[in-house]
Amino acid sequence: MLNLRIKAACALGLCVSLCAAGFAASLDERISEQKKQLALLNKRIQFHSKELAQAKAKEKSYLRELSVFDHRVKQSESQIELLDLQIEKNEDEISRLAQDIDAHQQKISELQQMLGKRYVAIYKYSGISDLNVILSANDVAELNNLTYLMKRLSRQDEDALESLKSEIMALESDKLKQEKAQGELVLRKRQRQRERDTNTRAGAQRRELLERIDKEKHVHLAAMKETEEDQRALQKKVDDLIKKRAAERAAARKNNPGAPVVAAHKGKFEWPVPDRRITSKFGMRIHPKFRTRIQHSGIDIGSPKGTPITAAGAGEVIFTGWLRGYGQVVIIDHGNGYSTVYAHMSKISTDEGRAVKTGTVIGLVGQTGVATGPHLHFEVRVNGKAQNPMKYL
């Protein structure tokens, strides 16, 4: 009966271990992916910090400085996400080890009770009971059977002792693992709090710089000049990417005449976010205080941070990355000269070269780049030139 109970407990433990292993593997994959994203952010910070240092040697560059603060915020957020996953893994491991420890203690208790009864019997009867059993045999065959059974009982006692030793060793091992996991958990929670403090400071520096751009005329004018440069850079980026992709498609058709041709877009797009609250229209924008005028090449759609952004039409992702002033950006080529731009994202959820359908999630709403609040900057471009998106939505 005891053996059956031990086997059942082992089978249950194996099932729990397999489930836990699957969940841990999933967490490990997410941790590995988060580490990759963090490494990419670290590279971007180094690049923008170097760019800022070079610019400062010539003249003040407010938008480059803003990019550095932006990346520090994103780096802290990414580090916090990684620590959250690692903390979750620690907590799961501690919980699993607690269950294993309870199971070991239960098995130890059962084995101790069984062996205790055997030792009491051995102490009471010593070798006399063995002799009586042997003398009670009626023939040689029965004597052989009784001797075999007595040896089996002896082996069972030895096996039970070995199982007890094994369970005690496993218990001590799991206790040490649990202690280590608890120590890691405490350290990671402290590190997470430090990252949250770093994130808060970087966010405050970012807001302070944005307020200066909005309040101080010379800062505003310098930033506006950079914004115009950024718009021209985006224009060139879109032009170059579309030309490059068109050339690649032409070469592919030449090498493989039977290759499928990208369907020509008809010029109508779906809204990229559920909200339809326009916070800034397409066209000339006039600053309320300084009366400066600047062209706004898209529309700003007010939406909460983290809102899913979807592809406004079917096409191919031709750019994912960071552009100064625009923050995290995705550009989609829809064919027939049409392209769409999605900016200020908090997270990009697609890759360059990926084919997307209308409604495919490509990222989340944020406020990276020159953005005072969470929103999506959305552009529609025809042959590279920005058009009023409202004509196409």
Question: Does the structure show a pLDDT above 50 at 14?
Answer: no
pLDDT tens, 313-369?
999 999 998 888 888 999 999 988 899 999 999 999 999 989 999 999 999 999 888
SS3 361: strand
Q: Rg for the chain (alpha carbons), in Å? A: 34
pLDDT value at residue 99: 94
Question: Does the structure show a pLDDT above 70 at 137?
Answer: no
pLDDT tens, 75-109?
888 888 888 999 999 999 999 999 999 998 998 88
Question: Does the structure show a pLDDT above 50 at 15?
Answer: no
Question: Does the structure show a pLDDT above 70 at 12?
Answer: no
Answer yes or no: are the C-beta atoms of 45 and 71 closer than 8 Å: yes
pLDDT value at residue 48: 57
**Dihedral sign for Cα atoms in the order 313, 319, 322, 324:** negative
pLDDT value at residue 254: 75
Greater confidence (22 vs 353) lies with 353
Where do the structural domains in the chain lie, given as residue ranges?
Answer: 2-215, 227-391
Cα–Cα dist 146/137, whole Å: 8
Instruction: State the pLDDT confidence band at 310, using cuts at 50, 70 and 90.
Output: very high
Token pair 């051995």 is found at: 122
Fold of 227-391: Glucose Permease (Domain IIA) (2.70.70)
Answer yes or no: are the C-beta atoms of 307 and 364 closer than 8 Å: yes
Question: Does the structure show a pLDDT above 80 at 288?
Answer: no
pLDDT value at residue 145: 62
Cα–Cα dist 81/87, whole Å: 10
Cα–Cα dist 344/323, whole Å: 9
**Buried b vs exposed e over 167-204: b needs ≥16 C-beta within 10 Å?**
bbebbeebeebbeebeebbeebeebbeebeebbeebbe
Decide if domain 2-215 falls under CATH 1.10.287: yes
Measured N-to-C along each axis, helices 62-125 and 217-255 cross at an angle, to the nearest 10 degrees, of: 70
pLDDT value at residue 6: 40
Cα–Cα dist 322/342, whole Å: 11
Q: What is the pTM of this model?
A: 0.63
